[in-house]
C-alpha cells in the first residue's frame, strides 16, 4: 500500500526595491542652532535688568525662527559656565526668550546675558515606499513506500567432540620355573623332573585422548 502525505510550506520573498516616486513629496525635519542674540544691557536701577526677549530681538531687526525646539542662555562674561551655576534667577525659554530683573538678584544686578535657539524646519524629500513582502506558497509531497521486512537467518554451529575409546593392552609374559620332586625311596624309578609353567599376566592401560 502506498501512502501520500502533502504539506504546505510558507516562504517569504525578500523585499523588492521600488523606484523612488517624485510625487507627492515627503518631508524631513532638519535642525540647526541660530546665532547668539544680545540686544539688551542691564541697567543699574532696582527695577531694571537684562531683557533679551523675542519681541526685543525682532525690534532690533533680527529674524527669529518660528519652530524653536530648545534654547541656550549664558552670561557674556562666563560663556563656558552654565547659567544655573551663576546663582541668578532668570527666565530662559523658547516662548519669551531671556528675562532678568535686578530686584531678583543678590547682589542686585543682572549679568549681561545672551541666548540662541535651536530651530527646526521641514525639508521636502522624495518619498521612499516600503514594499510589502510577497508570500509564496510552495507544496511539498512525501511518498511512503512500504518495504519488505528484512529476514535474518542465523546458523547454529554445533561442535561434536569424539572421545576415542580406551584401548587396553594385555601383555602376557610366560616364565618357566623348574620344580624338582625327589623321591627318597630306593626305587628304580628314575627321577621325574617336571616343569611347572607359571603364567604371569601384566595389564597396562593406554588412554588415547581426542585430538
Average pLDDT, the chain: 74
Is 209 within the bounds of a domain? Answer: no
142 is a domain residue: no
Check: CB of residue 54 under 8 Å from CB of residue 92.
no
**198 within domain boundaries:** no
Position 6 confidence tier, pLDDT thresholds 50, 70, 90: low
pLDDT digits (tens, 9 = 90+) for 66-92: 999 999 999 999 999 999 999 999 999
Taking residues 51-64, report their average pLDDT: 98
In a domain, 161, yes or no: no
> Is 0.75 topped by the overall pTM?
no
Range of the domain at 71: 26-126
Structural domains of the chain, count: 1
Using CB atoms within 10 A of its CB, is residue 159 exposed (0-12), middle (13-18) or buried (19+)?
exposed
| pLDDT at 169 exceeding the cut of 70 | no
Tell me, yes or no, whether 184 lies in a domain: no
Q: Determine, yes or no, domain membership for 121.
A: yes
Distance CA 203, CA 115 (A): 142
pLDDT score at 158: 53
pLDDT tens digit sequence for 29-39: 999 999 999 99
Length of the chain: 211
Tell me if 69 is assigned to some domain.
yes
In a domain, 109, yes or no: yes
Amino acid at each position: 500500500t502506498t501512502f501520500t502525505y502533502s504539506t504546505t510550506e510558507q516562504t517569504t520573498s525578500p523585499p523588492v526595491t521600488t523606484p523612488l516616486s517624485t510625487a507627492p513629496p515627503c518631508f524631513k525635519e532638519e535642525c540647526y542652532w541660530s546665532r547668539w542674540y544680545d540686544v539688551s544691557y542691564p541697567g543699574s536701577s532696582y527695577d531694571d535688568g537684562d531683557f533679551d526677549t523675542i519681541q526685543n530681538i525682532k525690534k532690533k531687526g533680527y529674524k527669529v525662527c518660528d519652530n524653536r525646539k530648545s534654547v541656550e542662555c549664558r552670561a557674556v562674561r562666563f560663556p563656558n559656565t552654565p547659567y544655573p551655576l551663576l546663582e541668578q534667577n532668570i527666565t530662559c525659554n523658547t516662548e519669551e526668550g531671556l528675562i532678568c530683573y535686578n530686584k531678583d538678584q543678590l547682589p542686585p544686578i543682572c549679568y549681561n546675558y545672551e541666548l540662541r535657539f535651536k530651530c527646526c524646519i521641514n525639508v521636502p524629500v522624495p518619498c521612499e515606499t516600503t514594499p510589502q513582502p510577497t508570500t509564496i506558497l510552495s507544496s511539498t509531497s512525501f511518498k511512503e513506500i512500504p518495504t519488505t521486512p528484512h529476514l535474518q537467518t542465523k546458523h547454529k554451529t554445533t561442535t561434536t567432540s569424539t572421545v576415542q575409546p580406551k584401548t587396553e593392552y594385555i601383555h602376557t609374559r610366560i616364565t618357566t620355573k623348574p620344580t624338582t620332586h625327589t623321591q627318597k625311596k630306593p626305587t628304580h624309578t628314575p627321577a621325574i623332573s617336571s616343569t611347572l609353567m607359571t603364567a604371569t599376566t601384566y595389564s597396562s592401560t593406554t588412554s588415547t585422548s581426542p585430538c
